[in-house]
Structure formats: structure tokens, C-alpha cells
Chains A and B, each alone.
Chain A
Amino acid sequence: AQSVSQHNHHVILSEAASLELGCNYSYGGTVNLFWYVQYPGQHLQLLLKYFSGDPLVKGIKGFEAEFIKSKFSFNLRKPSVQWSDTAEYFCAVSDSWGKLQFGAGTQVVVTP
């Protein structure tokens, strides 16, 4: 069975600070990895995804994530956050059918 662990439940940082959210997964097969974002009062949006190839994945809004197979990790980064990045971030892994297993989520608050 697949599982996803997100390291931080809450992160508070100032605008222009760098952000890194940790995500570790366990899954026996080929992994498909995702980061989703949920802004207050809104539905999930896909930030980025990794299936194969370059382990450094670029997503929307300046986010990127690095897949490190040896560490079973898929950490999300953004060099300089903005107030509008305040949201909840979910790491997820899917099996070959598209069944998603989500992490518990990290609430990110960016202060002006």
C-alpha cells in the first residue's frame, strides 16, 4: 500500500523568504508524485507532477519539486514566497490507475 508523509503541519514565514516543504512516500511500484495547493475557500489545484525523466520538476507560480528516489522524497520549494502563497499544500502519490493517496497537508501562512 502506498503512503505519504508530510513533515510539517504548519509553516509560518515572511514574504520573500524561501519555502521548502518535505514529503516522503512509500510505494512498491512505479510512483507518480504530485503537489496540490488549496487556497482558502477554494478547490484543489495541481501545482506540479512527476512521472519520469528530469527529477527536478517545474510547476506553476514559481514552484518546483525534486524527486530523490534514494530518499523516497519529493520536496516542494519556492525561492521567494508571496503573501498570496498562503494556502494548504498536499503531497500525493498515485498508483498506475490514478488512485491518489494524499499526505496530511501543510498549512503555509505567509506574513506581509
Chain B
Amino acid sequence: SAVISQKPSRDICQRGTSLTIQCQVDSQVTMMFWYRQQPGQSLTLIATANQGSEATYESGFVIDKFPISRPNLTFSTLTVSNMSPEDSSIYLCSVGNPEKLFFGSGTQLSVL
């Protein structure tokens, strides 16, 4: 199994600022996934992060808004840039293979 530590667990931010969310895994994983869950909605995949290459973004998400780093096989960061109230969501990282998927505890972001 994998243990995922996600930080921060919650934050309240001002419009126009940026927040970086960290995801640390206790074992090496090939791929890490970043999801967003907006209030009252389902989870939406933002991007897939591979170590040593640029992240692959899903439709509707761009690198300028959600830059991702993946410096090694156990760590990734997602930055929410130039935030607006519409970015208020829960952000989750996920790792694993199809047979066993693990989620971080999530980052509850509120943008004022």
C-alpha cells in the first residue's frame, strides 16, 4: 500500500495569489494524478505527472494556471496560480495502478 501525505490540508487565500500543494508518497511511483472537486461536483482530473517529463493536462486545464512539478518518484507539487473564487475546490493527488489506487487526504482551498 501507499501512504500519501498532502499539504496543506486547507487554506484560505486572497484573489490573485498562488498556492502550492505538495504530495509526498512513501514509495516510488511512476505516475501521479491531480484531481479537483469543486463544491457539489464530481472529481475532475487536472493532469498526470510523470517524473522527468512535463505533466500531461486534461482538456480545460493549462500549465500556466496549474503548473506541476515532479522532481522525483515520490513527490509532486501542484500550484494554483492567480487564484479566483472559482478555484475554490478540494484538490487531491492520487497514485497507484488500476488495481490499487490511493488518494491523498485532499487540500480544501477557499479563495476570497
Binding site for B on A (CB under 8 A): 32, 34, 43-44, 46, 49, 51, 90, 94-105
Contacts and interface: CB of A to CB of B under 8 A. Distances in A.
Contacts of A32: 98-99
A99 B31 CA distance: 9
A49 B97 CA distance: 13
A103 B42 contact: yes
Contact of B98 (A44, A97, A102): A97
B105 interface: yes
Nearest to B47: A99
B33 to A, nearest CB: 6
A56 to B, nearest CB: 18
6 cross-chain pairs, A with B, having the tightest CB-CB distances, nearest first: A32-B98, A105-B42, A102-B43, A102-B42, A94-B98, A104-B42
Contacts of B97: 97-98
Interface residues of B, number: 21
Contacts of B106: 43
Contacts of A97: 30-31, 48, 97-98
A59 to B, nearest CB: 15
A98 B98 contact: yes
- Residue among B31, B42, B44, B48 with most chain A CB within 10 A: B42
Nearest to B48: A99
Contact of B42 (A90, A94, A96): A90
A43 B105 CA distance: 7
B98 A105 contact: no
B7 to A, nearest CB: 15
B22 interface: no
